[in-house]
Structure 1
Amino acid sequence: MKKKRTVVIGFVGSQLDSGKGATRWEKWRPTVALTQHEEVVIDRIELLFNGRHGDLAELVKVDIASVSPETEVNSHRVQMNDPWDFEQVYAALFDFARGYAFDPDNEEYWIHITTGTHVVQICMFLMTEARYFPGRLLQTAPPPRHAAGKPGTFALIDLDLSKYDQIAQRFTREQEEGVAFLKSGIATRNARFNKMIDEIERVAIKSKAPMLLMGPTGAGKSFLARRIYELRRARHQIDGKFVEINCATLRGDGAGSTLFGHTRGAFTGAASDRAGLLRSAHKGLLFLDEIGELGLDEQAMLLKAVEEKRFHPVGSDNEVQSDFLLIAGTNRDLSKEVVAGRFREDLFARINLWTYELPGLTARAEDIEPNIDYLLAQFGAENSQVVRLNKEARSRYMDFAMSAEAQWVGNFRDLSASVQRMATLAEAGRITDVIVQDEVGRLRRLWQHYSDEAAEPSEIDLVEVLGQKAAGLDLFDAVQLKAVIEVCRKSKTLSDAGRKLFAISRSAKERPNDADRLKKYLARFDLVWDDVRQ
C-alpha cells in the first residue's frame, strides 16, 4: 500500500519562529523544529502568514530548506487586519480551505496549532473539527532546558469523536442527570411531558433568555422554576438568589415598589429606601408567577429591566442595575390578553422566546402513580418513617385517581395534599383500604360543586350538529353522541376529552391514543373536533 505524503498546515509564529543571525538556531522555533525530527519526514508545509510577516515566512522557508531539503514549503498570504478578530480569522481560514486542493486519498494533513494567536488556534481547531481541514491537529512543545537545541516533541490529536465513546457517554449521562434533577427523580411516564423537560434542560443550561411557563394552577410552574435555578447553580452558571413573587398579590403603588424598589418619600408610607425584588435577584433568577396580573405600568418598567438590565426605582431620577434571569408563569393565554389590551405586546414578544405549557394532572394520568411514590418517599424522609400503600389500597386509589370522576382541580397540589393526609393517618407506615375509602370520599366532597356544575343538563340539539342526518340515528347512538359532545364541550383539547371518555379502558393499553380514538368515533358521524366545540 502506497504511503501517504505528510502535509503540515500552519501559521508562521511571529514570536516563536522569529530570530536573527546564527543565534536563532539556539532557539526552539516550532515550524522549523517540525522538520528536524529524525523519526518523521514532512513532505510539504503550507505556511500561512498575514501581510506583516512575509519576510519572516521567507526566512523560515530558507531555514527549513537547509535542515530538510526534502520538505517543500509553500507560503500563503492570508488577509486579516486583526489576528485577534474572530470573524476576520475564521473568514480568512474558510476562504483558504475552500480554495485549497485537498487530496486526502494520497496525502495526510496535520494542522499545526502551536503558532498564531489564541484566536487563530481556536479557529484552526474549529475548521478541523468541522472537516473543512480534513486532517488531525498537531501540537508541538519545546525541549526541556537540559536538551536545548533539540527539536522538542510533537503530538497528534484525532478529532474523530467516534473513538471517544466514553466522552460522548459522559455528556449524555450529564444531560440525563440534569433532566432527572428537573423532575426531582420522579420516573414520569407521559411522553409529551418528558420531551418538554428534555428541551427545558438544554435551554436552561445554554440560554439566558427569559422563559415562560404556562399551565393551570398547581401544574408545578413554581416548582420547575426553582429546579431550573438549582440546576444552573449546580453548574456554576448562577450565584445569586432565587426570588419569587406572585404578581396577583401586587396592587397599586405597592406593585412598583415591591418589584423595582423606591426611594424614601416616594409616596405616603415610604419611610426609607427599598431595594425591590429585581435588585434582590441580581446575578440570580427572578420568577414572576401569574405575570398576566401585572399592571401595564409595571409591565413597561419590567420590559426595560429585562432588555437593558437597568430601571428607575419608584420616585428616583437615578437608574439602578440588576443582571437577573427571568422566568415568568401564567395560567392565562397571554396572546388573548394582548389582543384585549391587558398585556403589552412588546413584553409578550420579549418573554415568549422559550414558552412551555405544563399539562395539568388529568392530562398526565399515567404520571399519578410515580408522583404518589415520590410524595410518600418525601413524607417518609421528613418524618423519619417508611409509609406505603398496601396492594388493595393502591389499587382502589389508582382506580379512582385515573377515573373521569377525579377532577384534580388543584392538580398536583390536590394530589400532594391527598397523599399527605393518607400518610399522616397511616398506622405503622401502612395506608390501608379503609384510609383510601375515606380519602376518596373527602376528594368527592372537595370537588362536589365542580361535579354538580359538570352534571347540569345542557340541551344539545343534534339537528344543529348533524343536520338532517340526526333523524337517521338510533336512540342508542343519539344518547351516546350527546354525552360525547357534552364532554368535548367541557374539555380544552381533543386529548383532554379522550382521556375523560376512555379513562378506564386506556389503562389497559401500553400506548393509549385517546385523541385518535375520539377522532375516529366522531368521524363515524362525519364530525371533527371543531364541529362539536361550536
Structure 2
Amino acid sequence: MASINTFSLDSLASLPPEDPASLIIGQDSAANRNAHHAERAAQVECTVLLTGETGTGKEVWARLLHRLGPRQNNAFVPVNCAALTATLAESQLFGHERGAFTGAASESLGVFRAGNGGVVFLDEIGDMPLELQPKLLRVLQEGEVTPVGSSHPVKVDVQVIAATNRHLQRDVEEGRFREDLYYRLNMVELRMPPLRERKEDIPSFIEYFSDKFAAQYQQPRWKPDAETLGKFCDYRWPGNVRQLSLVIEQSYVLQCEPTLPGTDEKDPRSVNLPFTNLGRLRVVAVGQALRTTGGHKGRAAELLGVHPNTLTRLLSQISDDEILDS
C-alpha cells in the first residue's frame, strides 16, 4: 500500500483558484492529517465519513475528495438527508418508475443513478430515515438500487462520502442508526476540528476571507489591528468557519468594520442570546442572510448552512413584516 505521507499541502497550490482546496487553510495538525488521508481515500475511492460541528467545512472537504480522485471529471451530487421529505425520500434517492405512485408521471433516476460514475455526498447522514438505511447499505455492498415501483435492481457505480454533526456511535447504541451501515460508511473517518481548537489558523482565515470579499464587493481589504485580531482569535465561534466567513462578508455588504456577534449593542446584527427566544433567532438569522445576499435565496441558504428547501419552509412560517423588522 502506498504511503499517505507522500502528500503535501503545497500541491494544492497548483489547483484552480475556485477549487475547494483554497479553503483548506492553516497549519493545524488535524487539518494536515486530514489532507494526507483525503488524498489516499480519494485515490482508492473508498467510502469516507466526515464528522464535526456545523460550519467546520465538511462539504468543502467532500468536494476536495472529489477533485483529488479519478472521478473528478464526473458528477458530484450533494444531498442533504435532513431535507429529504419522508414520503418521497426513497424516490428521491433511488428513483422511481413511471406510475409507481400518484403523481409519478414519468420515470425518475434518483440521486444514485444520476450520479453514476461520480461522487454522491450524503450530508447530515444521521438524519436519514431508519427504514431507508438498509437500501443505502445495499448500494454500498452490492452497488445496486431498486427504483420504487420496480422489482429489478439497477447497477450503479458511485463513491459515497457522508457527513454528520451527530454522534453516530451513540445513535447506533440507541437504535437510531444501523450498526452495519455505520461501519460501512466509516471506512475512513475525517474529523473536522472546530475553529476554537485551531485558533492559530484564524488569522489565515481572516486574510483569506478578507481578500475574497474585497474582490467580490470591490472594496478595500480589511486588515484588523492587533487588538481586534486578538479578540477574533479568543472568540469561541460556535458557527465555526462558516460563521467567521459570514461576519466578514456582512462587514463588506454593510460597509462597516467586522463585529463579533453580541459585542456591539448598536449593531443590528447583534443578538442577546440568553434573552432571545429561538423563534426570534430564526427570524433574525433568515432576515440577515437575505439582506446579505440581496434576496438571493440559494446563497442565503448556503450562508445559513441549510438546504434551499429548508429555507423555503422557514420563509413560509415567517411574515414579510417580521423579516423587515429583523
**TM-score normalised to the size of structure 1?**
0.46
SS of residue matched to 1:402: helix
CA shift at 1:307, angstroms?
Answer: 1.5
CA shift at 1:185, angstroms?
Answer: 6.2
CA shift at 1:186, angstroms?
Answer: 5.2
CA shift at 1:219, angstroms?
Answer: 0.8
Aligned counterpart for 1:208 among listed residues 41, 45, 54: 45
Q: Which has the higher contact order (CA 8 A, sep 6+)?
A: 2
Aligned-partner Cα distance in 1 for 2:14–2:167: 29
Amino acid at match of 2:115: A
Residue 241 of structure 1 pairs with residue 78 of structure 2: no
Match in the other structure for 2:225:
394
Aligned counterpart for 1:311 among listed residues 145, 148, 155: 145
CA shift at 1:357, angstroms?
Answer: 1.2
CA shift at 1:300, angstroms?
Answer: 0.6
Identity score, percent: 35
Q: 1:281 to 1:438 in 2, by over 3 A?
A: closer
Unaligned runs of 5+ in 2: 278-326
Residue 289 of structure 1 pairs with residue 126 of structure 2: no
8 Å Cα contact 1:213/1:355 also seen in 2? yes
Q: 1:272 to 1:173 in 2, by over 3 A?
A: closer
Name the structure with the higher strand share.
1
Q: Any idea what the Cα deviations from partners look like across 1:358-390, whole Å, max 9, x if unmatched?
A: 01111111111101111112213333455132x
SS of residue matched to 2:198: helix
Match in the other structure for 1:116:
none
SS of residue matched to 2:79: strand
Aligned-partner Cα distance in 1 for 2:236–2:260: 17
Moved more, 337-346 or 407-416: 407-416
CA shift at 1:438, angstroms?
Answer: 7.8
Match in the other structure for 2:240:
411
Q: Any idea what the Cα deviations from partners look like across 1:240-268, whole Å, max 9, x if unmatched?
A: 21100110011322110110011122222
**TM-score normalised to the size of structure 2?**
0.73
Residue 225 of structure 1 pairs with residue 62 of structure 2: yes
SS of residue matched to 1:318: coil
Structure whose alpha-carbon radius of gyration is higher: 1
8 Å Cα contact 2:168/2:177 also seen in 1? yes
SS of residue matched to 1:388: coil
SS of residue matched to 2:225: helix
Amino acid at match of 1:445: S
CA shift at 1:396, angstroms?
Answer: 3.4
Aligned counterpart for 1:337 among listed residues 145, 148, 171: 171
Trace 1:95-244 onto structure 2 (pairs within 5 A). 176-178=10-12, 183-184=21-22, 187-205=25-43, 207-232=44-69, 236-244=70-78
Q: 1:410 to 1:446 in 2, by over 3 A?
A: farther
SS of residue matched to 1:401: helix
Q: Any idea what the Cα deviations from partners look like across 1:430-461, whole Å, max 9, x if unmatched?
A: x7xxx245874259934633999xxxxxxxxx
Q: Any idea what the Cα deviations from partners look like across 1:300-326, whole Å, max 9, x if unmatched?
A: 111111111111011111211210111
SS of residue matched to 2:49: strand
SS of residue matched to 1:184: helix
Aligned residues: 266
Aligned-partner Cα distance in 1 for 2:144–2:73: 19
8 Å Cα contact 1:239/1:283 also seen in 2? no
Match in the other structure for 1:135:
none
CA shift at 1:231, angstroms?
Answer: 2.5
Residue 259 of structure 1 pairs with residue 88 of structure 2: no
SS of residue matched to 2:162: strand
Aligned-partner Cα distance in 2 for 1:446–1:201: 41
Q: Any idea what the Cα deviations from partners look like across 1:131-180, whole Å, max 9, x if unmatched?
A: xxxxxxxxxxxxxxxxxxxxxxxxxxxxxxxxxxxxxxxx9687631488
SS of residue matched to 1:253: coil
8 Å Cα contact 1:291/1:329 also seen in 2? yes
Aligned-partner Cα distance in 2 for 1:359–1:291: 19
8 Å Cα contact 2:9/2:35 also seen in 1? no
SS of residue matched to 2:31: helix
8 Å Cα contact 2:76/2:121 also seen in 1? yes
Unaligned runs of 5+ in 1: 1-170, 453-534
8 Å Cα contact 1:179/1:201 also seen in 2? no
Aligned-partner Cα distance in 2 for 1:336–1:443: 39
Aligned-partner Cα distance in 2 for 1:328–1:200: 13
CA shift at 1:188, angstroms?
Answer: 0.4
Aligned counterpart for 1:449 among listed residues 264, 274, 277: 274
Match in the other structure for 1:352:
186
Amino acid at match of 1:193: A
Aligned-partner Cα distance in 1 for 2:272–2:242: 14
Superposed CA RMSD in Å reads: 2.8
Aligned-partner Cα distance in 1 for 2:260–2:48: 41
Aligned counterpart for 1:270 among listed residues 62, 84, 104: 104
Match in the other structure for 1:280:
114
SS of residue matched to 2:88: helix
Q: 1:227 to 1:450 in 2, by over 3 A?
A: farther
Aligned-partner Cα distance in 2 for 1:358–1:438: 23
Amino acid at match of 1:416: S
SS of residue matched to 1:259: helix
Residue 371 of structure 1 pairs with residue 208 of structure 2: no
